[in-house]
């Protein structure tokens, strides 16, 4: 298994929800597209043993943890990903602050 966590920081404020974070940072469509691409690659984004998304403890960031079965699954998903990172955000990749 390959577990990776990404932390996204947007506008410096506390958010009410993960959806509010993406909406208020102009990324609702980007997030929907990323989830669609993961799903189309066969990754179950609704399985909390595979992926979790939550606000940070202070509600100012979004934390995304993904647990790939192996390198082949990760490669298949990344091959179908949009390849465009959201702009206007600070992105910390491969954090050790996993949600599960």
pLDDT digits (tens, 9 = 90+) for 53-89: 999 999 999 999 999 999 999 998 888 776 667 777 8
pLDDT at residue 76, as a whole number: 86
Model confidence band, residue 2 (pLDDT cutoffs 50, 70, 90): very high
- Average pLDDT for the chain: 90
Q: Are 84 and 22 in contact (CB under 8 A)?
A: no
pLDDT at residue 85, as a whole number: 73
Check pLDDT > 70 for residue 3. yes
Q: Are 68 and 74 in contact (CB under 8 A)?
A: yes
CA dihedral for 46, 50, 53, 58, sign (positive or negative)? positive
Average pLDDT over residues 10-32: 94
The three-state secondary structure class of 33 is helix
Distances (CA, A) of 22 to 36, 54, 70, 72, 86: 15, 12, 28, 29, 10
Long-range pairs for 21-24: beta carbons < 8 A, 24 or more residues apart: 21/55, 21/61, 21/62, 22/62
Residue with tokens 């960031």: 61
What's this model's pTM, rounded to 2 decimal places?
Answer: 0.89
Check pLDDT > 70 for residue 90. yes
pLDDT at residue 91, as a whole number: 87
Residue with tokens 């691409």: 37
């Amino acid at each position: 298994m390959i577990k990776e966590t990404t932390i996204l920081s947007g506008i410096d404020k506390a958010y009410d929800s993960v959806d509010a974070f993406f909406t208020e940072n102009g990324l609702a469509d980007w997030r929907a597209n990323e989830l669609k691409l993961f799903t189309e690659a066969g990754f179950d984004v609704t399985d909390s043993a595979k992926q979790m998304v939550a606000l940070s403890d202070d509600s100012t960031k979004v934390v995304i943890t993904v647990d790939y079965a192996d390198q082949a699954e990760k490669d298949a998903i990344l091959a179908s990903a949009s390849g465009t990172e959201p702009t206007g955000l600070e992105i910390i990749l491969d954090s050790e602050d996993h949600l599960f």
